[in-house]
C-alpha cells in the first residue's frame, strides 16, 4: 500500500516482514557462521548491513534485529539456530512487534526534522545509519537508505498516531503547492 502524502513525500507500508531478534557474542565462534547465513557481516554500532537475504540492524553490544521477506519466517530462524549450534545465543521471531514504513521523496528529511532529534543530514547520518529514537514522541527504529529514503519501524499500536502526525507535519507544504 502506497500513500502519497504530497509531491515531496511518499509513505509506503511494508507489512508482514520477518523480524528476528538475534542475541549473540559478536566475537564468538557463532558470529562468523551467522554472517555466512545472512550473507553480510554483523553491523557496527548505529549501523545496519544489507544482503539479498536480509537487513541486519545493530541494536546493542550483543543484540541485532534481522529484517527479511515474509517467506523467510520459516527457514531463516532454523538456519540461524543451526549456525549458532551450542553457543550461548538466541533467535526469536518478533515479527508481530513492529510494522515497517518506508518514507521517500525530497521532503523526507524536512518532515522528519519536525519531530525527531536525529540530524539526518547525509554528512551526519549517511546511508547505513540505524538508530533507535523518538519521532513525535513515538519510539521508532530509523534506517537511512539514502538521504531521501528512510525506513521507520514502529509498534503497530502507535502506527495510526504516527501516520496522523506525518499528515499533520506535511500541512504547510501542501499549502505551498501550486
Quote the pLDDT of residue 1.
44
Quote the pLDDT of residue 8.
84
Cα–Cα distance, 107 to 9 (Å, whole number): 6
Quote the pLDDT of residue 6.
62
Number of separate domains in the chain: 2
Quote the pLDDT of residue 2.
47
Same-domain check for residues 102 and 172: yes
3-state secondary structure string, 61-111? CCEEEEEECHHHCCHHHHHHHHHHCCCCCEEEECHHHCEEEEEECCCHHHH
Pairing of strands 55-60, 48-50: antiparallel
Which of 60, 76, 96 terminates a domain? The answer is 96
Which of 72, 96, 120 terminates a domain? The answer is 96
What contacts 24+ positions apart, CB below 8 Å, involve 75-80? Answer: 76/18, 76/20, 76/37, 77/20, 79/37, 80/20, 80/22, 80/34, 80/37, 80/38
| Contact of 29 with 87, CB cutoff 8 Å | yes
Tell me how far CA of residue 89 lies from CA of 25, 26, 62, 93, in angstroms.
7, 10, 9, 14
pLDDT of 2-57, one tens digit each? 444 466 889 999 988 999 999 999 999 999 999 999 999 999 999 999 999 899 99
| Contact of 62 with 143, CB cutoff 8 Å | no
Quote the pLDDT of residue 80.
96
Which of 44, 62, 96 terminates a domain? The answer is 96
Owning domain of residue 22: 18-96
Q: CATH number of the domain that 109 lies in?
A: 3.30.1360.120
Same-domain check for residues 116 and 82: no
pLDDT of 52-84, one tens digit each? 989 999 999 999 999 999 888 889 999 999 999
Same-domain check for residues 86 and 22: yes
Same-domain check for residues 89 and 101: no
pLDDT of 101-158, one tens digit each? 999 999 999 999 999 999 999 999 999 999 999 999 999 999 999 989 999 999 999 9
Same-domain check for residues 139 and 89: no
Whose CA is closest to 169, among 13, 12, 9, 14? 9
Quote the pLDDT of residue 15.
86
Whether residue 96 has pLDDT greater than 60: yes
Same-domain check for residues 146 and 89: no
Same-domain check for residues 103 and 172: yes
Same-domain check for residues 92 and 103: no
Q: CATH number of the domain that 27 lies in?
A: 3.30.70.1520
Quote the pLDDT of residue 120.
94
The sheet carrying 90-93 orders its strands as: 48-50, 55-60, 63-68, 18-23, 90-93
Amino acid at each position: 500500500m502506497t500513500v502519497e502524502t504530497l509531491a515531496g513525500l511518499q509513505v509506503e507500508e511494508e507489512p508482514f516482514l520477518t523480524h528476528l531478534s538475534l542475541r549473540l557474542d559478536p566475537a564468538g565462534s557463532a558470529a562468523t557462521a551467522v554472517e555466512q547465513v545472512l550473507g553480510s557481516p554483523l553491523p557496527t554500532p548505529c549501523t545496519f548491513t544489507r544482503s539479498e537475504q536480509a537487513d541486519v540492524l545493530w541494536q546493542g553490544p550483543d543484540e541485532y534485529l534481522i529484517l527479511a521477506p515474509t517467506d523467510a519466517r520459516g527457514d531463516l530462524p532454523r538456519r540461524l539456530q543451526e549456525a549458532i549450534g551450542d553457543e550461548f545465543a538466541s533467535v526469536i521471531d518478533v515479527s508481530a512487534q513492529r510494522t515497517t514504513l518506508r518514507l521517500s521523496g525530497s521532503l523526507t528529511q524536512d518532515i522528519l526534522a519536525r519531530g525527531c532529534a536525529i540530524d539526518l543530514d547525509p554528512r551526519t547520518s549517511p546511508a547505513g545509519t540505524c538508530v533507535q529514537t523518538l519521532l513525535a514522541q513515538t519510539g521508532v527504529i530509523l534506517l537511512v537508505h539514502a538521504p531521501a529514503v528512510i525506513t521507520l519501524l514502529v509498534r503497530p499500536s502507535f502506527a495510526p498516531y504516527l501516520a496522523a502526525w506525518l499528515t499533520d507535519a506535511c500541512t504547510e507544504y501542501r499549502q505551498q503547492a501550486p
